[in-house]
Structure 1
Amino acid sequence: MLAGRRILLIIGGGIAAYKTLDLIRRLRARGAAVTPVMTAAAEEFVTPLSVAALAGEKVYRALFDLTDEAEMGHIQLSRVADLVVVAPATADLMAKMAQGHADDLASTLLLATDTPVLAAPAMNVRMWAHPATRRNAATLRADGLRFVGPDDGDMACGEYGPGRMAEPSAILAAIEAALGEGPLSGRRIVVTSGPTHEPIDPVRYIANRSSGAQGAALAHALAALGAHVVFVTGPAAVPPPEGVEVRRVETAREMLAAVEAALPADAAVFTAAVADWRVEGAAQEKIKKVPGGDLPQLTFRENPDILAHVAALGPQRPRLVVGFAAETQDVVANATAKRDRKGCDWIVANDVSPGTGIMGGPENAVTLVTEDGAESWPRMPKAEVAERLAARIAETLA
């Protein structure tokens, strides 16, 4: 699948560097050419001889090597590849990338390249959770950098948690996705996002506090894995990601119509916070306040249940139907009951009670409820929740 593609592999200085040997082997087996670059710290964990033997190419190590500069200068080296992969992307390398430092060959190549970059972070769990690393990761994502991982797992230091570098198979899948050959290539996925606005009159409406951030992040993550994403969004505060087919709606009924028009699809993920009710007979003119007069009386009707409707479809039902549940109490119990009631395959539940900062905030802490039970994920940025959920969807549809 990667025949003729050239990967510039930058190996950072962490114990996970040993995994890059397997990654190189897998890339070569799929026909890719690998040009390896090693930091000085990386040489403390794997030898240049081992890397060169597996890659079948010389290892670039020094910024001021006269021979290397004469044969292929670092500027050219940074631009001849189809993709730059940083694995492991240590906290130090991420900080250099985010701040634009260029004090060695690896960081200089990363600053000089106009080629897409994929990073596989690897570091101690506390380093990954540190505010400085979180800021750097957010900056790099905003700059267009792709990430794969890190995973939860045992650390070489004896601790457990997020920070373990993604396995070579996962990095390989992310490379294929970045090059347009991802695990979701050829798949059509519908994602709903944001709130709906249910009009009371031409200037007032019923809504909720959803920003649409999680839906936009998920659409981006699915598209990054090669899916054709139909993004049905209400009037969200967060703009749609690039590379998806956008269909804008206002009300729940418009959202249902847009979803039906987008089918058939391989999967449908309903992250939108759809208003449960609408005002019956919304006023065509602004309802005027009358001093001393009676308050307006609003009569409500139930909106269509988009998730349950799609889950109950016959031949047009997507193979995988995923709902979201924003709860303020008994999160797992309510989400489990919702999954059974709606007839969907998965429910992604989160606690949006006051004080969590999740509704409209940058982070999320979710529990994935499936027929196999409930799986709680640690609190993390919404982009990471999206990447993890997208990977699970790809695995299920494979």
Structure 2
Amino acid sequence: MSPSQRTLDGARVLVGVGGGIAAYKTAHLVRGLVGEGADVRVVPTASSLHFVGAATWEALSGHPVLTSVFEDVDEVAHVRFGQEADLVVIAPATADLLARMRSGRADDMLTASVLVTRAPVVVAPAMHTEMWEHPSTRENVSVLRERGTLVIDPAVGRLTGPDSGPGRLPEPDALLDAARAAIAAPRDERGAVRRDLAGRELLITAGGTREDLDPVRFLANHSSGRQGWALAHAALVRGARVRLLAANVELETPPGAERIDLGSAAELADAVATHRSRVDALVMAAAVADFTAADRAQDKIKKDDGDDDSVPSLALRRTQDILRHSVLDRADAEYPVIVGFAAETGGNAASALDLARAKAHRKGADLLVFNDVSGEVFGSASNSVHILDQTGEELAASAGSKTAVAHVVLDELARRLPEVPWSA
């Protein structure tokens, strides 16, 4: 992994492991955290060692494993681990572990560390559906969330044995994204993640549209969806409800987000028109094709094998300008807040930033996030953006991981939200 991909360099992350079969996935999470430069300390519960042994955690993290508050007493490890952490991630969190955390128990190294820490705490529950849906568990989760703990919803899928339903531990890549979002999030006076988007509903588009030319070929772009995904993860940790319109994105769904997959610009336009009603903000991070085939060929377009120089003629037409259309449809209403994205390259006539300022005037969105895509941006873990208002004035700039950029964008978005959620 190149240095530019090491988005967690130097971060001290405490990974707690509860006693569930899903603990094997946490090994992949630890490997991912270490690979991105984090200093990881694994603190398993005693019961979790029946599923994954201490030797695995020590080999992956490079640190010895402690489970009892009576180990390393001279170094006061049960206090030091929590105090030194920049982030705590608990995966899997069993129903029993959630109950002990809610009641403030400190009878092992993990629960004691959680009581001590002032770092963000991300909890990923995993259990059978009946346990997840039990009123006791739901109440425990609600109380922990009220205290500032970031409890992410489990995934829906295959559980232990033949059972299937909500309760599955999200995949390691999704947990890694959640960890990035939490550690980069703004904090309140207690050091907890600022939940300034609690009660808000965001509609976020991500990825790149594909425009069919024939049954085989299509017009597309290089967008991976990673910036839109980072926005979704960041919004979720800040308390928002997120509906994600994903255009050809091959990434794990952010835990807790509602995902709708689609392909073309027309499909995205229809989905935005359907779902933007009474959301608090529309964030158009997807790269939408400007052109599509005037007439899609029903059969594969053939080349003339008798003439090597022959090239088929392709007739194109413009696609709908979804961002501008959404602004106009909002008419005189103040909400939802609309955020557009503009990928530009400069030319002989004007710089990329000048082109973005002109676009900000033209589109009329509340915010326009501009990035110069002359360099390596698509598919990268990092980005560099300028945030413009409707007049083209620069409000903020951010360069770094796409997660860090996402939080700066959400900072500007949050300042424009009404006191009462529009979606309430």
- Is contact 1:187–1:228 with CA below 8 Å preserved after alignment? yes
For 2:76 and 2:283, the matched residues in 1 are separated by 53
1:243–1:68: structure 2 CA closer, same or farther, 3 Å change rule?
A: closer
Q: 1:143 to 1:63 in 2, by over 3 A?
A: farther
State the 1:287 CA deviation: 1.4
Q: Secondary structure at the match of 1:324?
A: strand
Distance 1:317 1:383 in 2: 28
1:267 pairs, out of 281, 284, 296, with 281
Q: Report % sequence identity.
A: 32
Cα distance in 1 for partners of 2:284, 2:178 equals 25
The count of aligned residue pairs is 269
Q: Return the TM-score normalized by structure 1.
A: 0.59
1:244 to 1:298, Cα distance in 2 relative to 1, 3 A: same
Which whole-Å CA distance do the structure 1 matches of 2:114 and 2:416 have between them? 35
In structure 1, the residue matched to 2:119 is 86
1:233 equivalent in alignment to 2:246: yes
Shift of 1:187: 1.4
Please give the alpha-carbon distance, in whole angstroms, between the structure 2 residues aligned to 1:195 and 1:68: 48
Q: Which amino acid aligns with 1:379?
A: A
Residue 324 in structure 1 maps to residue 341 in structure 2: yes
Question: 1:385/1:141 Cα in 2 relative to 1: closer, same or farther (>3 Å)?
Answer: farther
Matched residue, 2:382 = 363
In the other structure, the counterpart of 2:292 is: 278
Distance 2:357 2:75 in 1: 64
- The CA deviation string for residues 23-48 of structure 1, in whole angstroms up to 9 with x for no partner, is xxxxxxxxxxxxxxxxxxxxxxxxxx
**Contact in 2 for aligned 1:86/1:117 (Cα 8 Å):** no
Residues 308-333 of structure 1 show CA distances to partners (whole Å, capped at 9, x for unaligned) of: 00011137774311110101112221
CA distance in 2 between partners of 1:233 and 1:273 (Å): 11
Matches within 5 A, 1:297-376: 297-313=313-329, 314=331, 318-329=335-346, 330-353=351-374, 356-370=375-389, 371=391, 373-375=393-395
Cα deviation code 1:166-195 (max 9, x no counterpart): 6644844x16xxxxxx32222121111111
Q: Aligned with 2:416: secondary structure?
A: helix
Note the 1:1-398 alignment, pairs <5 A. 63-64=72-73, 72-75=106-109, 77-78=111-112, 85-86=118-119, 142=176, 144-145=178-179, 168-169=188-189, 171-172=191-192, 174=193, 182-264=195-277, 265-293=279-307, 294-313=310-329, 314=331, 318-329=335-346, 330-353=351-374, 356-370=375-389, 371=391, 373-375=393-395, 377-397=397-417, 398=419
Given the superposition, is the C-alpha separation of residues 316 and 239 from structure 1 closer, same or farther in structure 2, using an over 3 Å criterion?
A: farther
2 CA distance for matches of 1:241 and 1:184? Answer: 16
Write out the 4+ residue segments of structure 1 that deviate beyond 6 Å after TM superposition.
66-69, 138-141
User: Does the 8 A contact of 2:353 with 2:370 survive in 1?
Assistant: yes
Distance 1:299 1:394, change over 3 A: same
Matched residues in 2 for 1:187 and 1:378: separation?
Answer: 24
Distance 1:167 1:240 in 2: 25
Deviation at 1:86, TM superposition (A): 2.4
